[in-house]
Amino acid sequence: MGKDRDTALISDCKRGDRNALETLIRRYEKPIYNAAYRMLGNPDDAADITQIAFLKVFENLERYNPKFKFFSWIYRIAVNESINLLKRRGHQEPFDDKQASNLRDPEAMVDAEHLCDCVQEVLMELQEEHRAVIVLRHFSECSYHEIGEILQIPDQTVKSRLYTARQIMKEKIKARGLVGK
């Protein structure tokens, strides 16, 4: 009933029900924020993108087609806005050098926080299209078909892009001594 619940919520949102609006935000705020964070590597940017995504959704609510999943729509906006932000800046958001050098120290990598930082560092080294499929598959747990809907690419392209992204990521992680030991 997940999709139906979204449809009911959106219907109420369209009628100006603030409570429905708040519920929709509560439901998707965290996944969207996390997807944006993994795309951008920066919590402030992730918060900005989350706000932009919700604002765009509600500005275009009248045009929402319930045939499509709401979550695909809002994820699409969040991923596209993240990529646009990276492009506007013209370069990848630099990961702090000091932090990066610590990450290459095996002893410093033992705790979970450093592990997360290391993975994020590698994610930021991927091309945006590869990063997007990794984020949607492994962090947002979307299926091939859902990723295809979000990125508006065929399922087969999702699959091949995901394979390539994993291959690149595996080599980078391996170079840091975290896999293939």
Partner 1 sequence: MNEHKYMDLIQAELDDQLSDGQRAELDTLLRESAEARADREEYRDLAGLLRQVSSRQPPESLRQSILAQIELAGRQRPAPTAWAIPAAARTAMAFAAGIVVTIGLFRLAPVDIGPTDTRTLVGSMVRNQPLNYEFPRDQLKFDLGTGQGSVELHRNNNLLVLEFELRSARPMNLELEFAGQGLQFEGFAHQSATPPTLRVSTEFIGVTASGDQSFVVFLAYASEKDAGSGASIELYFQFAGGQTHRAVLTDR
Contact residues for partner 1, defined by CB under 8 A: 1, 4-5, 7-9, 11-12, 14-23, 25-27, 29-30, 33-34, 37, 43, 46-47, 50-51, 54-55, 58-59, 61-62, 112, 115-116, 119-120, 134, 137-139, 144, 162-163, 166-167, 169-170, 173-174, 178-180
- The CB-of-72 to partner 1 minimum distance in angstroms stands at 18
Residue 127 or residue 156: which is nearer to partner 1 going by CB?
156
Distance set, CA 55 to CA 12, 28, 61, 86 (Å): 17, 13, 10, 20
Cα 79 from chain centroid (whole Å): 6
Q: What angle do CA 80, 96, 125 make, to 5 degrees?
A: 45
CA 105/CA 115 separation, integer angstroms: 11
Residue 2 or residue 87: which is nearer to partner 1 going by CB?
2
Residue 59 or residue 107: which is nearer to partner 1 going by CB?
59
Length of the chain as a residue count: 181
Residue 18 or residue 67: which is nearer to partner 1 going by CB?
18
Cβ atoms of residues 71 and 54 within 8 Å = no
